[in-house]
Amino acid sequence: MLDALRAVRDPDLHQDIVSLGFVKDLRVCGGNVAFSIELTTPACPVKDLMKAQAERAVLALPGVQQVKIEMTARVTASRPLMGEKGMIPGVKNVLAVSSGKGGVGKSTVAVNLACALQKSGAKVGILDADVYGPNVPLMLGVRGQPEVVDKKIVPFQKYGLQVMSMALLVADDQPVIWRGPMLHSAVRQFLFDVGWQDLDYLVVDLPPGTGDAQLSLSQQAHIMGAVIVTTPQDVSVLDVRKAIRMFQTVNVPILGVVENMAWFQPPGHSERYHLFGQGGGARIEKEFGVPLLGQVPIEMAVREGGDQGQPAVLAVPDSLAARAFADIAGKVAQRVSILNAE
C-alpha cells in the first residue's frame, strides 16, 4: 500500500508523500482502504491534485474496491538560525506585508491575504503595525478597547482572525507622535505582550517605506518572510527596490511581490484598462528573482468592502479581486512551506 503511494510526490518539496510522512492513520478492511494525507498548509494549491493521484494509485492495487482519503494540514513553524531568540509565543510564522511607498493598497492586501489564509482552514492573526496610519480595524469592522488578562493584551476576534492594532488603543482623532525609541517599544509590546493563540500565520501590516518600524520588527522578532506590495508604475517599482534591499540586508526572505491596482475591467466588458501602466511586478520579478505572487485588479467591491469592514475575499468571493487574493494566499502558504522545509 505505502509503496503504491510513493508514486505521489509533493511538487514543491520534491519528495513522495510517504517519505515526507504525510500519510497518516492507514486502515485496511477487506477491499476498503482509508487514510489521511497531512499537508504542511491547508492553503496548498495542489491538494486536490495530490488527493486524486493518491486515490488512483491505491485503487489500482488488486483487491481494493473503495478508497476514502481525508486531507488535513499541520502548518510547519519557521525556526530562527540562532535558537529560539525572537520566536513569538503562540505564533508559528510571522509574515510581514510591506511597501516601498504609501498609497499602493498595502493594508487592503494584508487584510484580504489574512482572510484568504483563514478561509483555507489556517489559524491566522493580523497585527496592524502601521502605527501612524492604522487602517486594519476599519477594514475589518473592529472597535473598542482590548482587555488585559494575566498581563497579556487579548486580541479581538473578527471573521475568525485574531486582530490587534494601535487604532484600538488611542482615540480616533488622536495622532500618534512618536520618535524611534517609543515606536521600538510599541512594536515589541504588540508582538510579545499580546496573547496570540496557536497561530499558523501572523500577518503584520507594516508602515510604508523603510523606517523605524521595519527595523524594529526585524530586530526583535523572527520574521518568516516578507510580501512586498506595489503598483505597476515605474515610481512604485523604484520604491520596491529599496524595500527588497532593506529586507535582504536584515536577512528576511522575500516571499514575493503583489501587484495591486493592476488593471480596471468595466462590469460586463472583457477589455482591461491599465490605468497605472503595466509590467511593474514582472520587472521586479526579473530584476531580483523574487516571484510575482499575483496581480489584483481595481474593483469597486474591494474599496467598498474596506470602508464597510467587509473584506472582498469574504463579501464577494467570486469577484476577480477576491479570486486573485485567494490565489496569492495559496502561493504565500506554498512559499512558506518550501522555505521552512529548507
Domain's final residue, options 39, 73, 107:
73
Instruction: Identify whether residues 7 and 113 lie together within a single domain.
Output: no
pLDDT at 82: 45
Domain's final residue, options 73, 107, 127:
73
pLDDT tens per residue, range 68-110: 999 999 998 887 654 566 788 899 999 999 887 777 889 999 9
Question: Domain range holding 34?
Answer: 2-73
Which stretch of 209-213, 241-245, 249-253, 328-332 has the lowest confidence by average pLDDT? 209-213
Question: pTM (2 decimals)?
Answer: 0.89
More confident residue, 73 or 245: 73
Angle at 130 between CA 281 and CA 191, to 5 degrees: 110
Grid look-up 494566499 returns 329
Which stretch of 40-44, 216-220, 309-313 has the lowest confidence by average pLDDT? 216-220
**What is the rounded CA–CA span in Å between residue 249 and residue 51?**
40
Instruction: Identify whether residues 111 and 169 lie together within a single domain.
Output: yes
CB 78 within 8 A of CB 222: yes
pLDDT tens per residue, range 174-219: 555 555 556 667 777 888 889 999 999 999 998 876 666 666 777 7
Beta bridge pairs of residue 90: none
DSSP H or E segment with residue 96: strand 91-99
Which of the four pLDDT bands, split at 50, 70 and 90, describes residue 289? confident
Burial 28-48 (b: 16+ CB within 10 A, else e): eeeeebebbbbbbbbbbbebe
Instruction: Identify whether residues 59 and 170 lie together within a single domain.
Output: no
The count of other CB atoms within 10 Å of the CB of residue 300 is 13
Q: Is residue 263 part of a domain?
A: yes
**What is the rounded CA–CA span in Å between residue 4 and residue 9?**
11
pLDDT at 242: 82
Q: Is residue 82 part of a domain?
A: no
Share the mean pLDDT of the chain: 86
Residue 316 cell numbers, joined: 464577494
Instruction: Identify whether residues 111 and 259 lie together within a single domain.
Output: yes
Instruction: Identify whether residues 194 and 319 lie together within a single domain.
Output: yes
Q: For the chain, report the end-to-end CA distance as a whole number of angstroms.
A: 28
pLDDT at 209: 66
Instruction: Identify whether residues 50 and 185 lie together within a single domain.
Output: no
* Number of domains composing the chain: 2
Residue 144 cell numbers, joined: 473598542
pLDDT at 263: 84
pLDDT at 140: 94
Instruction: Identify whether residues 63 and 95 lie together within a single domain.
Output: no
Q: What is the CATH number of the domain that holds 22?
A: 3.30.300.130
DSSP annotation string for 22-83:
-EEEEEEETTEEEEEEEES-TT-TTHHHHHHHHHHHHHTSTT--EEEEEEEE-PPPP--SST
Instruction: Identify whether residues 137 and 248 lie together within a single domain.
Output: yes
Q: Is residue 81 part of a domain?
A: no
* Size of the chain in residues: 342
- Does position 341 have pLDDT exceeding 80, yes or no? yes
Instruction: Identify whether residues 29 and 100 lie together within a single domain.
Output: no
The DSSP letter of residue 275 is B
Which of the four pLDDT bands, split at 50, 70 and 90, describes residue 170? low
- Does position 284 have pLDDT exceeding 50, yes or no? yes
Q: What is the CATH number of the domain that holds 291?
A: 3.40.50.300
Which of the four pLDDT bands, split at 50, 70 and 90, describes residue 326? very high
pLDDT at 171: 53
Angle at 229 between CA 226 and CA 233, to 5 degrees: 145
- Of the candidates 201, 128, 217, the one whose C-alpha atom is nearest the C-alpha of residue 164 is 128
- Does position 122 have pLDDT exceeding 70, yes or no? yes
Which of the four pLDDT bands, split at 50, 70 and 90, describes residue 294? very high
Q: Is residue 83 part of a domain?
A: no
SS3 4: helix
pLDDT at 70: 95
Q: Is residue 161 part of a domain?
A: yes
Instruction: Identify whether residues 265 and 154 lie together within a single domain.
Output: yes
